[in-house]
Amino acid sequence: MDTPKTYNALPTPKMGVLSADYLEQLAAVVRKYDLPFLKITSAQRLAIAGHDPADVEAIWHDLGQQTGPTKPVGIHYIQACPGVQWCKLGRQDSLALGEKMAESLGSMPLPAKVKVGISGCPMNCCEGYVRDIGIFGKKKGWTLIFGGNGGGVPRIGDVVGEGLNDDEVIALAGKCLTFYAEHAKKMERTARLMSRIPLEDLQKALV
Ligand code: SF4
């Protein structure tokens, strides 16, 4: 029988931070279901491919999930680099900010999916200029970028705030997303919205 062309992102701990327990659970699942392909995605999640479609729910169950990961219309994922906690170039705590952002804005209803990349320094390893919401740290605080996209029609996002602390950058990101929710067409990504309207419209809304 040919290997099935199935592909699923697995439930993965927040921001791709792994533990020995999770890896052992995962290794047991890979062996039990004889999974032929396992991959870390660009969204810092794990994906499996080539499995029997009938096994999907059992695989999720064995990983401690009642249902599979959802693909929300709203914040789709938050990427964060190791930041100041683990990287010698880090200037700000990207992992902690990712947690706070998920709590504050994670359930906000939005017109389409929103990808967030948070980097602890201007090296921007989480590619904030091509994320709907991009954030990177400098010594004096966070820089916020809005409206980027790295897909088929790339767009470099616009810097909308600098020198922000954790609460300020989350509040400003929330204002950007509120503007997006009020002005975008259904399923229109932030980059397409910002390509068809003047940046000044957003800037006025953020004042
Ligand atoms: S963005 Fe900076 S802090 Fe984050 S992993 Fe890259 S170099 Fe390190």
Q: What are phi and psi of 67, to 5 degrees?
A: -135, 170
Q: Is the pLDDT of residue 115 over 90?
A: yes
Binding site membership of 16 for ligand 1 (Cβ less than 6 Å): no
Give pLDDT, residue 73: 77
Instruction: Determine whether the shortest distance from the Cβ of 190 to ligand 1 is under 6 A.
Output: no
pLDDT average, residue stretch 116-123: 97
Angstrom distances, CA of residue 61 to CA of 52, 68, 69, 108: 15, 9, 12, 27
Q: What is the CA(77)–ligand 1 centre distance, in A?
A: 18
Residue range 188-199: mean pLDDT, rounded: 98
Say yes or no: CB of residue 89 within 6 Å of ligand 1. Answer: yes
Please choose from 86, 88, 89 the residue to mutate so as to test ligand 1's pocket, defined by most ligand atoms within 8 A of CB: 89
Residue 46, Cβ density class (10 Å: 0-12 exposed, 13-18 middle, ≥19 buried): buried
pLDDT above 80: residue 113:
yes
Residues facing residue 48 across a β-bridge: 8, 38
Over residues 65-110, the pLDDT tens digits come to: 766 666 667 888 899 999 999 999 999 999 999 999 999 999 899 9
Question: From the CA of 7, how far away is ligand 1's center (Å)?
Answer: 30
- Res 135 pLDDT > 70: yes
Q: What pLDDT digit, counting tens, does each position of 6-61 carry?
A: 887 776 677 888 889 989 999 999 999 999 999 988 778 888 888 888 898 898 88
The 10 Å Cβ neighbour count of residue 139 is: 9
Span 138-158, pLDDT tens digits = 999 999 999 999 999 999 999
- Ligand 1 pocket check for 125: Cβ under 6 Å: yes
Q: Which two tokens stand for residue 35?
A: 């999974």
The rounded distance, in Å, linking the Cα atoms of 165 and 162 is 9
165 Cα–ligand 1 center, Å: 18
Cβ burial 53-91 (10 Å sphere, 16+ → b, else e): eebeeebbeebeeeeeeeeeebbbbbbbbbbbeebeebb
Ligand 1 pocket test: which of 119, 126, 127 has the largest number of ligand atoms within 8 Å of its C-beta?
Answer: 119
Instruction: Give the predicted TM-score (pTM) of the model.
Output: 0.90
**H-type alpha helices, 67-188:** 83-86, 94-105, 166-183
Name the residue at shortest CA distance from atom 3 of ligand 1: 90
Q: By C-alpha distance, which of 66, 38, 40 is closest to 51?
A: 38
